[in-house]
Structure 1
Amino acid sequence: MAGAASETIHDVVCGFCGLGCDDLSVEVEGRAIRPTGSICPEAARLLRRLDVADRPASIAGAPASFEEAAAVARHLLAEARSPLIGGLGTDMAGAGALVDLAVRFGGVLDHYASEGLFRNYAAAQRTGWLSTTLAEARNHCDLLLVVGDDPAATWGRLFERLYPEAPLFATAGRKVIFLGGAPGEKAKAQLSGVDVVHLATDDAVAALEALSSLVAGRTPPGGSFGGIDCETLASLAGELRASAYAVVTWNAGTLDDGDLVAERATGLVDALNVTTRAGVFPLGGRDNIIGVNQLMLWRLGYPLRTAVRGQASAHDGALYSTASALADADLLVWVSAFRPEPPPAFAGRVIALAHPDTVFDKEPDVLIPVGTPGVDHAGTVFRMDSIVSLPLGALRVATLPSVAEAVRRIAEG
């Protein structure tokens, strides 16, 4: 908008990766948004907006009004035999509206980032676990064991959040051990004042299992586990036992054997808690998956990957995953408001409530561009550790509907 005054907004909350950073600054001029200061590349990319006209709604690729697109979407839902309501990248109000939509029209509900969540669930269901929070890890953890690849590639400010200059309680001598991939330059910079060790392994499950035995006072048979010799693992076990508060973290979504890593990490923490204090800190939370999952538990009594038909709900972590449900679906309702995440390949009808910058391989049958929570409208999301809900504020005047508004218009007519 020509001649619009520029305003700098501080303490902006980011709802994209699940860390819930709440100290961002942006410059807003008209409808243009420019992130400033210390910010991760992912947030900078997703917060930046130009002052341009919004993409219109469309029907089979042809521009249409919001009302026309909503009417066609309602007709497609009424005709559908087996809808899949997927993506689910939305705030809490949008998630509630989508559950209402499933109750009215039926359908399977799944988040596009749920694979890691259910790998962790598999471990928790078998063994339970003792988990920690971001605040506890930040202020108490003196030894952090990172399993798998460097998570700073996905959570750009993770180690900055976990290792402040002045933690409340943790003493000097904090240490981070990377068990798997080496730390990248970003992680090294954020951990500049911390003792960092890298132990390369080709089998994190085997290394964790041997480590658990050593912590419990048992010597496992064999001289090497996951490519790490027993002497090195015994030394690490001694450090873990001597720690005041050890934390084990991993990203199950990027690990093919993520459920086994989660289970072995849980076993290690259980062994440590006999004599000291320790917890697991599973990484995740992208695009409010934790909040959407929480809401489904409150509303339906089941987590994601649940089918709603009539007045009944049924959950199956394998059968109702997006990939499996698509095989039986005749309609895909794709929701991605936080980022331009395209829907998976699908031969049936598609209704997209999507970020306006989304690029589709094939134009959906109905496209309703929606605003982004924390940019175009206020909203609420959950942090990755599931205990803190975060309020997102609007940064500019909205010209696109929220997911909740779009869904209500589709459902109500």
Structure 2
Amino acid sequence: MNILVINAGSSSLKYQIINILSQQVLAKGLAERIGIEGGRIKHQYATNEGFGEYILEENLPEHATAFEAITGLLTHPDFGVIENPESIKAIGHRVVHGGEKFTKTQIITPEVKEAIKTLIPLAPLHNPANLIGIEASEKFFPNAVQVAVFDTAFFATLPEHAYRYAIPKKFYTDNSIRVYGFHGTSHKFVYNEAKKILKNDHLKAITIHLGNGASMAAVNENGESIDTTLGFGPLCGLAMGTRSGDIDPSVIFYMVEELGFSLQEVKNILNKESGMLGLGGSSDARDINEKCEQGDADAKLTLELYTYRIKKYIGSYFAALNGIDTIIFTAGLGENDAVVRSWSCKNLEALGIKLDEEANVKFNHTKVPVEIQAPESKVKILIIPTNEELEIAQQTYELIK
């Protein structure tokens, strides 16, 4: 069965076709600059030698136009991989926010779409684009079953003492203000992969997703997330590429009341000008590492703060889980930054956590799951490349098979 996976952003659309039985990627691509001059689709298709590539450059005034072009590429006689749209039996859509309503993967109905609309205030940048992607795919693949996979669903198991904030109850009951968590599809995927690798169906794990956005999750022996660093929105917890992570709310009041910034300006600073960018001058960890090697004090502080936050949450989640079996690093930095992994695991021997520094460097940029703990480490330390598209395809298949 071929499943099409869609991840629609406000001006982009990522896609993959996966044969779910063989788990082979038949085609993948990215449509960029939708609604902006200079649209472009990078389309890759499976060949006997690997992947061929075709670049389509044309204006894409809306998502429907992009979907039409992608459909043409997927069915093209030279670089297509399906005969016609009817070859796709199901389409799995990444939907960022499911609120408290959607705690599991759902077949998309008019009622589900309407409910996703009502959640737009909780994810104003993402849910509208996700909906547009759904409606465009319904137009060009009318016979396929449309399925929504929610990023927040993995955190539906958080206990109330973990997802509630210590503010008046009415803000939860009337306004749905609570911890929702994000990157759930990635956390779930790497946790399930770790169970296979370690041959243990009852792992206690800390999953660490380090991309431009970053989050951690505590997962108990039943595979249930019991805590996570991201909350009502994607700003708290770890320091990130451009986001501040945890900050005393008093700083925000001070910036507004004493320094004269508007709330919109503060929001922009904390979301787009902080994190690695604000501390070290670049949101790209490769630049920060290079500056650090050259003796730049700001870059060194950036890495120290970034990894210290990770260590603090490792300790916190170790306590919440009453011990752990494994730590899992994933996503851009988690998979490809040996310095971040090394500094994050330093001086944790008291918790039974010790990294093998040689293995950490040797297996940087790994394409397959690997163990990088020292022989005497009581806790397994894994690098597992995330694959959110495969997780979405698998959840879609499980729902409709």
TM range (shorter): under 0.3
> As a proportion of its length, which structure holds more helix?
2
Give the TM-score of the pair, scaled to structure 2.
0.28
Tell me which of the two structures has the higher relative contact order, counting C-alpha pairs closer than 8 angstroms and 6 or more residues apart: 1
Structure of greater Rg: 1
